[in-house]
Amino acid sequence: MTDQTRQPTTRVVLAEDSVLLRDGIVRLLASAGFDVAAACPDAETFLAAVDEHRPDLVVVDVRMPPTFTSEGIVAALRVREQHPETAVMVLSQYVEEQYATELVASRSKGVGYLLKDRVADTGDFLAALRDVAAGGTVLDPEVVTQLLTRARHADPLAALTAREREVLDLMAQGRTNSAIGKELYVSDGAVEKHVTSIFTKLGLPPADGDHRRVLAVLRWLDQED
């Protein structure tokens, strides 16, 4: 008889360039009941594996070949955009503030960012993965501290995501929402959401009416000078 209470297996794709760490994580996940569909040494093969296997969860190292800078987290952001149903856990030796902000801002559910020196406790690590896979948010305390510090001191423009900056740049070129949508290959509704988010992050309330668009562009052009 089938056990009706049995939980579905979480399918995982892993991206980690260190052979020893990659194999260790694979063994740990397999022993905990996760289904590791692929374990990849670089961002390119990782993204291909995500397209192929459509995992429930990806676990990604920030630094990946060939430059060992930001390939991993850039790939994680692409997964967030192209496969929004997939949960993302990022592992890193350090806090990459800009990308961490964008990762969380893109969608606050089903996302995690942990420093590698905090995952020595395998029980806590596995629990964090399960939380993220279930739609939760798990952020390392150091990540939270640095992001809050950044938010207090940064220019409001720094809070914009890469896509929002693209939209604002096109607004500064005089493009309408419809023209921006065609340029970026997104719907008019998606552009409107980005524009609304830009207004919010720049502190331009609805009371400013149609002038909000002009004020946002002026702030963008001011930083270009």
Q: What is the pLDDT of residues 67-106, one digit of tens each?
A: 888 899 899 999 998 999 999 999 988 877 777 777 877 6
Sheet architecture: strand order including 11-15:
35-40, 11-15, 57-61, 87-92, 111-115, 137-139
Provide the whole-model pTM: 0.64
Domain 11-153 in CATH: superfamily? Response regulator (3.40.50.2300)
Domain ranges of the chain: 11-153, 156-224
Residues 6+ apart with CB under 8 A from 30: 36
The predicted-structure confidence for 119-145, as pLDDT tens digits, reads as follows 778 999 999 999 999 999 888 888 777
Tell me the angle at which helices 177-184 and 188-201 cross, rounded to the nearest 10 degrees.
110
Length of the chain in residues, anyone? 225
Among residues 37, 42, 93, 47, which one has the least CA distance to residue 66?
42
Average pLDDT over residues 168-192: 92
Average pLDDT for the chain: 86
Mean of pLDDT values over 182-205: 90
| Average confidence (pLDDT) over 2-6 | 48
CATH architecture of 156-224: Orthogonal Bundle (1.10)
